[in-house]
Amino acid sequence: MTRVQGLGAPWGSGHAELLPRGHRVGDWVVTEPIGAGGWATVYAGHRADERAVRAAARLGEAAEVALKIMPTAGLAPRQARNVAEAARREVEIGVRAGHPRLIRLLDSTVLDAPDHPALDGAVVLVMERATGSLRDLLDSGVTEAEGGRLIAGICEGLAHLHRVGWVHADLKPENVLIGADGSVRLSDFGLATELTGTHGYAAPMGTLDYLPPERWRARLGERGVQIRPSADIWALGIVIHEVFASGAPLFPGATPVARGAAVQEYAAGRAPLRMAQGIPEFWRALAADCLAPTHAARAAHSAGSLLERITAAGAGESAPARRSRPPRLGRAARAVLVAVAACGAAGSALWSYAAREAHEEPPRRIRVFNAERACQDRTDRDPRCSLGLAVDPMRPYTAGNVVPTRVWHADVLDADCQLLRGEAVIDESDLRSTHWFRVRLPGPDREARAWLPAVRTNDRPELPPCPAPAST
């Protein structure tokens, strides 16, 4: 076991206090926190021994590493076993399934910290450090050629994993890391499942937005639920859509569970697969194959065969570049809540969707959706339940960037075009999107326009792209 040296602060109220800057864990020194998830906190670090640092530099190894700390103290026995099992999977894949498209495991250890019970027994995984994730790139925008290269790298990593008998089982942009040279590295194998024949078994866990239709109704047996490589292919289809739709979700819904219901409607043949406009035809067809509604239909499209199609089309290397996203504000400024405080006078009343049936909806009208359940059944147009329309979708969605006219849940607006690459917006249920609709304001001025974020509607009408407005 590795002892923690110089630890000044106990666990405290948050992971940021777990390992302060400058503290040593075995052969490594913590420099700063990188991020935190449900089971772990990740820190940047470097070798404690300067001679080792210089030796690594001579060998061309990175001086900085990522330290993934997975505490087990204070957990129920089953939870502790889950953490230990997740760590075991990561180590096993790092040792047995090494590949240039998988994040590299450099070391692993267990902390010995008897004076700090919250740390005692924590698992530490030392990995090569990436410069960011695919999610970060979606925040700032990628060209079509760059997106194709990234997807080809993901396919290469998945093909290797499947070939050596593993399913990733949690593929998403956050788990696709980008190296300093721009290369793709699949990461976070805590839910990876080893195949025994055509499938494996795992606990019913995963990121809801990337689960295939069959997982929503999978039977839970003594060994867990069945996991097959086609689950990764489904998640790849979702990722392809997000890459070319600037992170916009494919299935409608204000929450992951609601979007999961939309997935099941599609799988049952009761709803079509509606991708965002502007996705290049090659990638649209590839994503559609990945998103075949059944395992049997998806099984025909392995990661290897998809990579062959990408290579044959030259889409992973030399696809023509599409126009990149306009310059954006800092990430902290982008992650603003869509719930804008009630301000200004309420505008003219909009006609209510009320009793209109979906099939009667005019083709370019969209219905407003408020994720606050308490506001969905109200008809009194209380200002506290009103929502703002933006003046400029390229600026932060704050009170200073909304028009005086307010809208409410179930109002219907006329939309004339859509913008896929606007300012990122997050609603109350943590749904995040850069997708906006330009809508007509009610009233006598038929030319008055404003912008509704796509997280404020479940509708996805076929609309032409809007020209990117010049920010003021």
Considering the domain architecture, whether residues 146 and 168 belong to the same structural domain is answered as: yes
∠ CA 24-25-31, rounded to 5°: 55
Domain identity same for 294 and 407: no
Q: Give domain status of residue 472, yes or no.
A: no
Residue type, 415: A
Check whether residue 123 and residue 198 sit in a common domain: no
Residues 6+ apart with CB under 8 A from 366: 412, 413, 415, 437, 439, 452, 457, 459, 461
**Segment 338-350, tens digit of pLDDT:** 222 222 222 222 2
DSSP 384: G
Task: Looking at the structure, tell me whether residues 42 and 102 fall in a common domain.
Answer: yes
- 431 and 355, same structural domain? yes
Helix axes 144-163, 303-313, angle to 10 degrees: 150
Residue 260 and residue 124 share a domain: no
Other CB atoms within 10 Å distance of the CB of residue 306: 23
Domain boundary among 313, 342, 371: 313
Predicted local confidence at residue 303, as pLDDT: 95
Give the domain CATH number at 103: 3.30.200.20
- Is residue 270, in this structure, part of any structural domain at all? yes
Are the beta carbons of 351 and 413 closer than 8 angstroms? no
> Same structural domain for residues 289 and 415?
no
Active site residues: 170
Shared domain check, 274 and 181: yes
The whole-number mean pLDDT for each consecutive block of 10 residues of the chain, a chain of 472 residues, reads 43 47 80 76 82 59 79 74 80 80 86 74 85 85 91 96 92 92 90 87 88 90 88 97 92 90 95 92 96 94 95 68 33 27 27 29 73 82 88 86 89 89 76 86 80 88 78 50
Report the distance separating Cα 168 and Cα 104, nearest Å.
15
Residue 311 CA to residue 7 CA, distance in Å, equals 50
CATH code of the domain covering residue 212: 1.10.510.10
Q: Is residue 319 part of a domain?
A: no
Of 95, 112, 128, the domain-final residue: 128
Domains identified in the chain, total number: 3
- Domain with 106, as residue range(s), is 2-128
CB atoms within 10 A of CB 450: 22
**Residue 9 sits in the same domain as residue 106:** yes
Q: Are both 298 and 277 inside the same structural domain?
A: yes
In a domain, 370, yes or no: yes
**Residues 243, 308 contacting (CB under 8 angstroms):** no
Q: What dihedral do alpha carbons 257, 262, 267, 268 form, nearest 10°?
A: 110
Same domain, 208 and 262: yes
CA-nearest of 400, 388, 395 to 472 is: 395
Q: Are 168 and 109 in contact (CB under 8 A)?
A: no
Question: What burial class does residue 77 get, using C-beta atoms within 10 Å of its C-beta: 0-12 exposed, 13-18 middle, 19+ buried?
Answer: exposed
**How would you classify the pairing of strands 365-367 and 412-419?**
antiparallel
pLDDT at 471: 54
What is d(CA 202, CA 329) in angstroms, rounded to the nearest whole number? Answer: 41
Residue 169 lies in a domain: yes
Kindly state whether residue 84 falls inside one of the protein's structural domains: yes
Look at the pTM and tell me if it is higher than 0.75: no
Token pair belonging to 437: 């609709």
Per-residue confidence (pLDDT) for residue 157, from 0 to 100: 95
Token pair recorded at residue 292: 């075949």
Q: Is residue 386 in some structural domain?
A: yes
Same domain, 76 and 213: no
- Note the pLDDT of residue 61: 59
Residue 206 lies in a domain: yes
Last residue of a domain, one of 128, 157, 186: 128
